[in-house]
Chain A
């Protein structure tokens, strides 16, 4: 997937200027950036939730990409909880075409949660379910926006293993402020700064671009 020339502004405030991102099956692409640099906005532009002033997107060198229904090919995990609060886990898994038994295998705690609704779960539990659902859905690409927030460390390790497993079947784009967790799982890394994306090859590049101090 190639995303290029993303230009987004809200009134006088320019969020993204010619932002660029690529993702490939079998690779995990990391996106880092300080608060307010437009990472979530970039992802929402890709998913169609926000209409940018300009954007070019192409999947697999196709002549035309059905951008309006991109959800058929790209799944997105937003930064905050997004499942309808009154929907049961069973119903959500059915709609997304994911086997619930897989979640129970992932964490046996969810064995009795099948008929619970999302508003009956804790924030962390709901986050894990959402992330599992998005990762296991049938899609060419997955975008995970700060997936490790509010997650216990042992679950972060499990999620990282799941990402490594799923990347064989799809391209994964991931962003988080816990950059060391991101560095562990990513194959390619971009830094979003001042509306532009910069490729990052090493920790020194992060220091040079002012993302970390040392």
Chain B
């Protein structure tokens, strides 16, 4: 995001909007996956402890990356 802002200063507002959109996703995942004994609900389904903790971050990273790529494509299209 920093590199994008450096290369295209006018894209700051786009980066902020993208980050704002990702907040509900992160909030939803963490609210549902990281509360106390709820971990055992997922362990009972055969998910490992490592997978349980990594999944929210992985999903956030993939979702944010996708949003950044889409916004870059839109930016180039606009230029």
Interface stretch, picked from A52-60, A73-81, A165-173, is A73-81
Q: Is the CB of A83 within 8 A of B41?
A: yes
Mark each residue of chain B from 21 to 57: 1 if its CB lies under 8 Å from any CB of chain A, else 0: 0000000000010011111111111111110000000
Residue of A nearest to B47 (CB): A71
Q: Judge whether A213 is part of the interface by a CB distance below 8 angstroms.
A: no
Q: Is the CB of B44 within 8 A of A49?
A: no
A interface, size bucket: 20 to 34
| Total A-B residue contacts, Cβ distance less than 8 Å | 52
Q: Is the CB of B43 within 8 A of A71?
A: yes
Q: Is the CB of B32 within 8 A of A86?
A: yes
B contact set with A: CB distance below 8 Å: 32, 35-50
B53 → chain A closest CB, angstroms:
11
Mark each residue of chain A from 62 to 85: 1 if its CB lies under 8 Å from any CB of chain B, else 0: 000000111110011010111110
Q: Judge whether A159 is part of the interface by a CB distance below 8 angstroms.
A: no
Q: Is the CB of A48 within 8 A of B49?
A: yes
Residue of B nearest to A86 (CB): B32
A135 → chain B closest CB, angstroms:
12
Q: For B40, list chain A residues within 8 Å (CB).
A: 44, 47, 49, 76, 78, 82
Q: Is the CB of A71 within 8 A of B37?
A: no
Offer 22 A-B interface pairs, CB within 8 angstroms, sorted by A. A44-B40, A47-B43, A48-B48, A51-B49, A68-B48, A68-B49, A69-B46, A71-B45, A71-B47, A72-B46, A76-B40, A76-B43, A80-B36, A81-B37, A82-B36, A82-B37, A82-B38, A82-B41, A84-B35, A84-B38, A95-B45, A96-B45
